[in-house]
Structure 1
C-alpha cells in the first residue's frame, strides 16, 4: 500500500510587535500578555530612543514589526522621534502610544507624528490585546480616558460664537485681532504644528528650552489661548502656519 503525506495548511504568522518603554516591569508585563496569544509576538523591545533607532537601522523590511507600541517619555528623548522614524522607514507601520497619562500637547504631538491610537498602561491585558487587534483591522484604538481628553480638546477648539454644529448662536463675541507674531514666535509655532516636543523644537531652532517656552508663552498671550491645540486652531484660522 502506497502511503502519501497529508499536507496541513501552515499556521498564519503571528503579527510582530516592537515595544519601546523604559519601565522594565511594564515591558515584562506586556511581554507576558503578548506571549500568551497565537496572534502576536514580541519581536523587539527597548527602553530608550537610541536603542530603538539603532535596531531600526539594522532591521530589514522583511523583519519589520507590523505594530509599534511607543512610550512618549523616554530617558534619552521623546518617543515622537521613534514614531517618526518608524513611519518614515515603513509608512504602513501601525503605531500606538502607550502612556500612564497624556495631556493635550502629548496627544496632539503624537497625532501629528503619525500615531494611530493611544493606550493607557493600566487598561489591563484584555484591553491591550483588543487594542492590538483593532489596530491590525485598520481601526484607531483609543483608551476611554484618552478619548475623553480628545473630546474635551475638540469642544474647547470650537470657535466662540458657534454651536456644536458650527452654526452661530446668541453668544457671539467680537474679539480684537491678536498682535502679529515675531519671526521667532512664528518658527516656534511652526514646530508645534509639526508635532515636535518642546525639547526637539528648541534643538531644531538652536535655542534653549527656556527660550522656546518663553516664545510659547508669548504666542499664547497674543492669541488669547492657553494650550497648544487652541493656539494651532487659532493660527490656522489666521493662516499663520507654514503647514496646515
Structure 2
C-alpha cells in the first residue's frame, strides 16, 4: 500500500464504495472510520443519502469542511441539521423504510456475525468485563435490510467462536436462525477490520475472507482470528484509495487528520 495512506483511510474508502445513493444512515461519533465512510460516500456519489448526525437530518453535499464531533450529543453536529428526530421517532421511521443501514462494533464478534456489546463472562450479573450495552443495535439488526460489522482491532479475544451474549443478531447459529425467530432484517453484509474485509458464505453463513489489506497475508488473518474462517482459493488485496477519494477524505471529511493519527 502507498506509504502515505493509513489503514483507517483505506478502510473508510472501501466502506464508502458499498454505500449507494438513497440510503438512510445514522452516523455515530464513536466510530470515526464508519463515520468518515458514510460522509465520503455522501459527498462522492450519494447526494440523496439521508445522513443522521446526532439524529439531525442533514444534506452535507455543499458543506466545504466537516469537522468531527466527539459525542453523540455534541451540539456541533446540529450546525448542519435541517431537522431533528427524537430517538424513538427515528427508530419508528427506520422500521417503515427498507433502505436503512448501520454499523456496529463489538467487544466480541463470532463466526456467524453475532455481535456482543454487553460484556464478557458466563453470568450476566457478574461479568468479567462490562461493555457499553446494545444502545439500540439489537432493534436495528432486526429490521434493517443489511448492516455492517466493524472492529478497530482484529485479534482472537474479539473474534471468538461464539459470543457470550448477543446484542446485535447476525446469522445466529447459522442458516435458518433468523427465519426460525421471525427476524425480518437482512443480517450483516460485511465485516471490516484493520486486516481485511469479510463477508458471509451463503450456504453456511460463516465468516469468509473477501480480501486482505495490502501488506497483510491470509496467514496473518488466520492467526488473529479465534475461529476457522472460510478461505476461498484466491484472496485478493483490498483495492487502495483513489486520488479523488483521498482528496475529498482529507480536505472535507477528515480535515483534522483523525484517520491519519
TM range (shorter): under 0.3
- TM-score w.r.t. the length of structure 2 is 0.25
Higher share of residues assigned helix: 1
Which one has more relative contact order, counting CA pairs under 8 Å at least 6 apart? 2
**Bigger strand share:** 2
